[in-house]
Amino acid sequence: MQYSLLNKINDPSDVRKLTIDELEELSRELRNYIIETLNICGGHFAANLGAIELTIALHHVFHTPEDKLIWDVGHQAYPHKVLTGRKSQLHTIKQADGLAPFPKREESIYDTFGVGHSSTSISAGLGMAIAAKMQGKDYKSVAIIGDGGLTGGMAFEALNHAGSIDADLLVILNDNDMSISPNVGALNNYLARILSGKLYTTLREGSKKVLAKMPPIQSLAKRTETHLKGMIAPGTLFEELGFHYFGPIDGHDLKTLVPMLENLKVLKGPQFLHVITTKGKGFAPAEADPVAYHAVKSGFNNNPTSSIPAKITKPTYSDVFGEWLCDMAKIDSKLYAITPAMCEGSGMTRFAEEFTERYCDVGIAEQHCVTFAAGMACQGMKPVVAIYSTFLQRGYDQLIHDVAIQNLDVTFALDRAGLVGADGPTHAGSFDLSYLRCIPNMIILAPGDEDECWQMLYTAYHYPGPAAVRYPRGSGPGKPLTKMMTPLEIGKGEIRRSGQRICLLAFGSMVTPTLKAGEHLDATVVNMRYVKPLDEHLLIQMADTHELIVTIEENAVMGGAGSGVNETLTKLNRHPPILNLGLPDVYIEHGNPDKMLSACGLDEHGIISAVLNKLSSIPFANTHASERETSTQL
């Protein structure tokens, strides 16, 4: 397809030269370009199509990068990347050495704040606005946040702060979860333009100065203005927080967006613009089902009548959790499932439909989610919190203070543990074993396959205190489900292979590659099952009968499961040579999951190589090393 205008855009200065009619043509070309490119490489989809006109208008009106655009989460930032000089690289997004999946400061001067988690943009934008004031600089800070991001408590904390101080901040609510009829939309567009105009603003600010000398009348005028605006626009809440509210307006209408932003650009103090957009705009299947088209795989548009490519039939760990949740709910009426806006991703769609009264999506509010579960547990309910490992980090204080200190019976199903591939370091669950292991009263389970995940969920559910089952993204080795509803013994591992001299202690997702490495090394392989409590009896047995102990985990080495083994053996007065394998002390960038694990030395060959290298440095093991190395085929 020809992109006559888009091909001329090298940076936002080119966008600022265009007329409104040319901006509209640019939006059509950009929308087609994103559809065409993501059909090749895949990536986040519906949110990007919905934000095209807004992105174009922002770069047309504001003098970026001097003016700061702060995107919340960043699912909608592909148009921004294209307009800021990265068009030729869009096909590499989410791939190793390609564009980052979200805005990233190291990638571009136009990416003013690195994101990936939700509800951060207003806080960051406010910080930039105050910094500008302190440094005597005249730039505008613009925070763009979605209606989903606005459900996060952090966003309201920032709004409350910003509205109470003289900060030159513009917050744009990109609302794609409500519809407005053409008539109502046109009226709101007209009213918003009038309310943001210079005449209205001058009269408003002038009247405030006059009325300030007559407090009773000033109070009446303020109440009257607020209630009148509340009748025609849903902005009363934001006005009460100290913002000047404008909207809602059509976020796809450049003839409205551009003059509105030009008006707001010159206003001082906290401003709030409410725009209505449609997720998946311009691609009918995505407009009809934006959840399914949140992200797409390559080839999704090869057949115009097709929808998202069919899912792999092999069940994922999320699927296993969703099925277990439904079966468990049939057995125990006290079960109540909670998620912070991760219903589909966590495999809870069926549960939400079949057990509507025992399901709650609290929105992007992880802190509330954890304490909400604690409150239920106080009253004898059995809450199960389905949450991604990376997102539980946001509710860490609540996990300690509200759940663990009180030793409450809350089960945490930790999805996306370990590396997650294309979504990169903001979404990787690299630290949960480290940050959970130090919490008293917690038990932590890590399944090595799908069937064990089922049994561990049952075990954790029946443990009378806080328990976490952490499992990786995607599918496991493919072990069929027996659906056994019997608990595993707390803190007991299992020997999966008996060998000589070397003992490999595998945790969770590392069991499969460790078993393969164990065959080559003729090593004993233990599926530890528990990260906390560790099987002390088994550790003593292994330490007393092997020349080398190796721990393998898909978690940061520092403070992880291997650290727990080291501490335990020291406590038990056992001091064998130990090798800890896991994720290195760096943030692992996005890429293919298997290649990422291989680069970290966490595949079969990496484990073998690390073990042989370690053996070469152990004097009393060297007598066996040459024989083992000869027989080992890498």
- Report the catalytic residues: 279, 366, 394
Per-residue b/e over 585-612, b at no fewer than 16 CB within 10 Å?
Answer: eeebebbebeebbebbbbbbebbbebbb
Distance, CA of 419 to CA of 592 (rounded, Å):
10
CB atoms within 10 A of CB 135: 8
Q: Decide if 431 contacts 407 (C-beta within 8 A).
A: no
Q: How far apart are CA 503 and CA 501, in angstroms?
A: 7
Separation CA 40–CA 35 (nearest Å): 9
Q: How many helices (H) and strands (E) does the chain have?
A: 26, 19
Reduced to 3 states (helix: H, G, I; strand: E, B; else coil), residue 602 is: coil
Tokens in use for 562? 């291997």
**DSSP-derived pairing of the beta strands 524-527 and 271-276:** unpaired
Strand order in the sheet with 244-250: 68-71, 141-146, 169-175, 271-276, 244-250
Joined tokens for residue 609: 């190589």
Query: Whole-angstrom Cα distance, residue 454 to residue 408?
Result: 22
Amino acid at 336: Y
For residues 163 and 240, give the distance between their C-alpha atoms in angstroms, rounded to a whole number: 9
In angstroms, the CA 360 to CA 101 distance is 29
Contact 296, 45 (CB under 8 A): yes
The single-letter DSSP state of residue 448 is S
Instruction: Provide the angle, in degrees to the nearest 10, between the axes of the packed helices 254-265 and 20-41.
Output: 110
The first and second tokens of residue 476, run together, are 């496991």
User: Residue 78 is encoded by which pair of tokens?
Assistant: 């592909």
How far apart are the C-alpha atoms of 154 and 378, rounded to whole Å?
26
Cβ proximity of 582 and 610 under 8 Å: no
Q: What is the C-alpha to C-alpha distance for residues 273 and 244, in angstroms, rounded to an integer?
A: 8
The three-class DSSP label of residue 537 is: helix
| DSSP 8-state symbol, 518 | H
How many Å apart are CA 410 and CA 464, to the nearest integer?
Answer: 8
Contact criterion met (CB below 8 Å) for 139 and 68: yes
Assess contact for 382 and 335: CB atoms under 8 A: yes
